[in-house]
Amino acid sequence: MALTEERVRRVLDVALRLGETLLARQAGSADVADSVLAVAAAYGVPEAQVNITADAITLSVPRGVPGAPVTAMWLVTSRSPDYTRLYEATRLAQCIVAEKPPLDEVESQLVELSRGGHRYPRWVSTVSLAVMAASMSLLLGAGALVVMLAGLTTALIDRVGRVLNTHRVPLLFQQVVGAALATGVTVCLDAAGRLPAGQAPSLVVAASIAVLLSGLATVGTVQDAITGYLLTATSRGVEILLSSIGVLVGVTIAVRFGVLAGVDVRVTPNLPVPLLSLPTRVIAGTLGAGAAAVANYAPARAALAAGAAGAAGSLLYLVASMFGASTVAASFAAALGIGLAGALCARSLRVPPLVIVMAGIFPLVPGLSLYRGFVDLSTGLYTPGVASLVTASGIALALGGGVVLGPLLAPTLRRELGHLRSRRTARGHRWRHGHAHRLPALAGVETSPAGGDPGTGTGQAVQG
């Protein structure tokens, strides 16, 4: 179909709306840029340029195209993980590139996607968050009663947070309230003598706070930094920092009230983390990762894959630690395994790798190290506090680097597995994957390293 000014503008509108859905669901900026350019190229709009910031996508077409030069922008008004919408947006982008359906059909699907509800009722998400906290406390060595208490406290925090969200309370203050509830409930139970002997109240607080921090786009931030989108990475990093400060403020408020009431709060970052038995760690990692996927409305098959990835990641982390690896090195090894498994399974499961890896790394998130660091700083222990924050930053970088590197290695591993099955199959497989050096895509559409169409090289992503 010949390009007209009206068609060019409609193509830009479709590409931007699709990119907004991906970016709002915490996809990496590089994946969003590649998908936007691939959609524009699929409908015959060449040489487009895209620029992405934390809350806006700008798409421009230079002279030489009917109606050009033209520039369009779309604002990202809200950002929250919803793996069903991420899956649907990725599927639609791949369908556009492969089949080029009529624009009318795509526009109606985009409207449906933006107006559609969640896959599960909200109470399912609340229960899943409770399971996440329970599994994290189990990883920390808690007993049955503390595991149950961590889950119930997190469920209460989620319900209160939803009420605050309906009143448009900023995320910073939601984090303050959530952390204060987690600490306050534990302080009151400890003061009443309801906690079992030998179980530190910090286990409940730390598990709940890990869930509060798990929804942040830590991996997306590191992925953006690695792929050159430094402005977006900085913006996301500031959001993570503010949320973490909100946690610190909430913990401090509850502790101060406990001290004024004469209660020995005993909230300490020195958490007793024993070497759990292998089955316990694997079960806790499976439940935590699977629940993290369901809490963010992932399809059932993606939740099962995330649970398997969480089990594998927990096992790899334990094995690496037993061989003397540092926390950062063990986290990288586990994330690499999760990223590789996510990329290999995503094709057969028909889900974006990002859904699997984001949920799969929940047992490895550096939320506890951040918690330790901030508590140390608030109590005047500056040296161990800075050390904990440096460790948390290293873990975040290791997780992001691992899940980005994993998909990059997946095509090579597929070829080698095919070679083991049959030399003839291996030769054909190697020929079919001529674009082995594509950038790893955790969501959206894979393109060439230039950021454009693999066959023509058109399009350019402006890194910001």
Q: Which residue has the higher pLDDT, 175 or 455?
A: 175
Alpha-carbon distance of 218 to 264, in angstroms, equals 34
- The predicted pLDDT at position 427 comes to 45
Tens of pLDDT along 98-118? 888 998 999 999 888 888 778
Task: Retrieve residue 230's tokens.
Answer: 């430094």
Q: Which residue has the higher pLDDT, 362 or 269?
A: 362
Nearest one of 178, 145, 186, 143 to 159, comparing CA atoms: 178
pLDDT band at 464 (very low <50, low <70, confident <90, very high): low
Bridge partners of residue 70, in order along the sequence: 61
Q: Which residue has the higher pLDDT, 380 or 62?
A: 62
Q: Which residues contact 166 (CB under 8 A, 6 or more apart)?
A: none
Tens of pLDDT along 180-219? 898 888 778 777 776 666 566 667 777 887 888 776 667 7
Domain boundary assignment for the chain: 5-79+83-117+448-462, 122-409
Task: Retrieve residue 176's tokens.
Answer: 């303050």
Task: Retrieve residue 462's tokens.
Answer: 């402006």
Alpha-carbon distance of 422 to 37, in angstroms, equals 37
What backbone phi and psi angles, to 5 degrees, belong to 378? -70, -20
Task: Retrieve residue 424's tokens.
Answer: 């003839």
Per the listing, tokens 């406390």 go with 137
Residue pair 135/287 in contact by the 8 Å Cβ criterion: yes
Tens of pLDDT along 231-266? 888 888 888 888 888 888 888 888 777 777 666 555
Q: Whole-prediction pTM value?
A: 0.81
Tens of pLDDT along 378-398? 667 788 888 888 888 888 788
Q: Which residue has the higher pLDDT, 282 or 407?
A: 282
